[in-house]
Amino acid sequence: MNKILEIKNLCYTYPDGTHALNNINFSLNKAETLAIIGGNGAGKTTFLLHLNGTILPSNGSITVNEISVNKKNIKQIRQKVGMVFQNPDDQLFMSKVYDDIAFGPNNMRLPLEEIEKRVNSSLEAVGMSDYNDRHPWHLSTGEKKRIAIASVLSMTPDILALDEPSSGLDPKGRRLLIELLKSFSHAKVIATHDLDLVFEIATKVIILHNGKIQAEGTPEEIFSQIELLESCFLEQPLSYKLKNKLF
């Protein structure tokens, strides 16, 4: 069975009474890349934070590899769903890159040899093998984002969940990030406003609008619907227009 993530009737209401998510249903298979798109306030980040239990549902259920996302299973879930936040400074807090990446495996009380192996393989995966002793606050935004991804990879997750991964990057940094994400075989869930990134790497797209799923399909299917996009404060990405010669 390839299904790795299943969400049924997910609802979430903030303490102030704001209904952020309403009756969300979908599933994700292994190796799929899901993009969550929508205008500001659509519920993208709230949705993403449910995947590793940072936020727990008001109603409904989430399962990752048939393990329920709840308080009882939170440790297991956070090993299976690696969360990469929009701002890498929220994720990197140690004095050296090595220590940031080793933080999770250390908390798992893994042997030192296994920790070192995971750190090295994670840095290699993001193309930063010689950054062990660097200070995170001296890195560029793009470098920090790659180190943040490495810190998640060291936990050997089944799913990578990324919030606005391309924000704040210059064109070269953005291209490096896209190629990096394309190289991973993990299931990925990406919440983003970067629709050109979505068109390039996503296999499935969900549009959120007012906390509800308005549409689900492939990037081609979603981006071909101009009226749908406009009603959700979105537009066709340039890469889609160029490919389909819409100029």
- The pLDDT of residue 1 is 53
The overall average pLDDT reported for the chain is: 94
| Cβ-based neighbour number of residue 57 at 10 Å | 20
pLDDT tens, 186-225?
Answer: 999 999 999 999 999 999 999 999 999 999 999 999 999 9
In the structure encoding, which two tokens stand for residue 223, read together?
Answer: 């981006």
pLDDT score of 20 more than 80: yes
Report d(CA 205, CA 172) in Å as an integer. 25
- pLDDT > 90 fraction of the chain, expressed in percent and rounded: 95
Residue type at position 115: I
pLDDT tens, 102-149?
Answer: 999 999 999 999 999 999 999 999 999 999 999 999 999 999 999 999
In the structure encoding, which two tokens stand for residue 2, read together?
Answer: 């390839």
CATH number at residue 18: 3.40.50.300
- The pLDDT of residue 178 is 94
Q: Is there a contact between 204 and 35 (Cβ–Cβ < 8 Å)?
A: yes
Closest CA to 55 of 41, 43, 37, 39: 43
Say how many CA atoms lie within 13 Å of 89 toward its Cβ.
6
Break the chain down into helix, strand, coil percent, rounded to 5.
40, 25, 35
Split at pLDDT 50, 70, 90, the class of 31 is: confident
pLDDT score of 165 more than 70: yes
Report d(CA 166, CA 145) in Å as an integer. 9
Report d(CA 120, CA 225) in Å as an integer. 44
- The pLDDT of residue 83 is 95
Closest CA to 225 of 239, 201, 207, 209: 207
Domain that holds residue 104: 3-243
The total number of structural domains in the chain stands at 1
- pLDDT > 70 fraction of the chain, expressed in percent and rounded: 99
How many residues are recorded in the chain? 247
